[in-house]
Structure 1
Amino acid sequence: MALFQLILILILSSCMAQDEDIMTPVVNIYSEIKEIKASINRLTMDLNTANNELAEQNSLIEELQKQIKESPKVAFTASMSATESTNRGPFSTETKLIFDKVLTNIANAYDPVTVFTAPVKGVYYFRYSGSAFSSHDMGLSVFKGTTQFVSSYKYNSGERNDQMASGAVMELEVGEEVHMRLWIRSWIFVGQHYNYSTYTGYLLYPLDSTSV
């Protein structure tokens, strides 16, 4: 009987030991939960940082869109009108060319009778083209006020009718004028139906009063 009791005690002790092993966790659950919370906090901080950066970028985009919308729009293209195909020149003095056939005149800064007048301080681009008969010289200049800025010259080749073009970037103050002139003893062709000779200008971007 004593032996049976001893065996029973040994069996019960073994079972209790197994139960303790089963109930003992392999990992520390509290440590794992703590690490998960720390990871969530880091992800939350990263998300907040990303949201702040996105908000700054959206604000910058809105500001740029506002500047583009409010930026002045200035552009023109003009040619010379004629009831029949003819030419301007030659003249005994350098002569202002009148491009009276207005094709585009955004902001109405171009006066087809006189000159282009800058409505805002800014950087502008001007371009011109000229057509001439092969037997005639052609000299063209762009003037900023009374100062010759850029010029082009075509010598009479005697072989074919010629076309030339050039352009320039200018910084203009409000009210400064730009026009074109035909050189002494030179010609420029004016077509009745086609705009062979043209004068174009547009505002690249405005400058504020503190710009250098």
Structure 2
Amino acid sequence: MVIKTTILLFWLGYVCLAHGGSESSEGSVVNIYTELKELRSLVGELSTKLNKAEADLKEQRALVEELRREKDEQPKVAFSASLLSSESKHHGPFNDETNLIFGKVLTNVGNAYNSATGVFTAPVRGVYYFRFTGNYFVGHDMGLSIFKGSQRMMSVYEYHSSGESNDHASNGVTLELEKGDVVYMRLWINTWVFIDGRYDYCSFSGFLLFPL
């Protein structure tokens, strides 16, 4: 209303001024009512545009708030762990495939990784990324696999040779998991990994890319 009143007063003042200057001029007639009608139409258009702009702004604010709420509610899942040992030593070889328990937890946002069992349990249905590394010294081969449930998903293998004193191997995989699916690491039969008490050569990490 303030804007409408201001425009009307300004326009009336302009029209009156124009009238005063043209009264003495023959053949110059100003139709005040016509101009007021045009002014009212203009003010109406401006008011409609202003209302639409306010509605659009309100809608955008609601959308931003919804996106912020979805971001806050989205689960946050990430972990990194390494094989735990107070001294540097080999782990293995064994006569059976053995689950690896990465007991030294560096990060465990969401607490989906269990350091007592070495098992990651998906808290929500989504797409996850996992990465693992292994280190070994000459003497035995090294074979590592990442499992989803009972299914072997990805592996690394290093063959021992007299020309190499130690070596590293790593791999990664993106997995689509249902809520409650488990992911863990296994050491192959008759292979070993080297656990270093200081440098954490053997590690297991993962995080949620996005929920589904």
Query: Do they fold alike, i.e. is TM over 0.5?
Result: yes
Superposed CA deviations along residues 104-132 of structure 1, whole A, max 9, x for unmatched, are 22232211121112222222221112223
Deviation at 1:92, TM superposition (A): 2.7
Q: 1:25 to 1:189 in 2, by over 3 A?
A: farther
Determine the structure 2 residue equivalent to 1:186: 191
Deviation at 1:192, TM superposition (A): 0.9
Q: 1:32 to 1:102 in 2, by over 3 A?
A: same
Give yes or no for the alignment of 1:100 onto 2:103.
Answer: yes
Q: Unaligned regions of 5+ residues in structure 1, if any?
A: 1-18, 208-212
Determine the structure 2 residue equivalent to 1:121: 125
Give yes or no for the alignment of 1:48 onto 2:74.
Answer: no
TM-score of the pair, normalised by structure 1? 0.76
Q: How big is the alpha-carbon RMSD for the aligned residues of Structure 1 and Structure 2?
A: 2.5
Describe how 1:112-191 pairs up with structure 2 within 5 A.
112-114=115-117, 115-133=119-137, 136-156=140-160, 158-159=163-164, 161-191=166-196
Deviation at 1:21, TM superposition (A): 5.4
Determine the structure 2 residue equivalent to 1:71: 74
What is the distance in 1 between the residues matched to 2:190 and 2:41? 86
What is the distance in 2 between the residues matched to 1:26 and 1:151? 94
Q: 1:32 to 1:123 in 2, by over 3 A?
A: same
Deviation at 1:163, TM superposition (A): 2.5
Q: 1:201 aligns with which of 177, 185, 206?
A: 206
Q: Secondary structure at the match of 1:22?
A: coil
What is the distance in 1 between the residues matched to 2:170 and 2:141? 15
Amino acid at match of 2:70: Q
TM-score of the pair, normalised by structure 2? 0.76
Give yes or no for the alignment of 1:22 onto 2:25.
Answer: yes
Q: 1:89 aligns with which of 85, 88, 92?
A: 92
Deviation at 1:55, TM superposition (A): 1.3
Q: Unaligned regions of 5+ residues in structure 2, if any?
A: 1-21
The higher radius of gyration belongs to 1
Deviation at 1:205, TM superposition (A): 2.8
Amino acid at match of 2:104: K
Amino acid at match of 2:81: A
The alignment covers a number of residue pairs equal to: 189
User: Percent identical across equivalent pairs?
Assistant: 52
Moved more, 34-43 or 186-195: 34-43
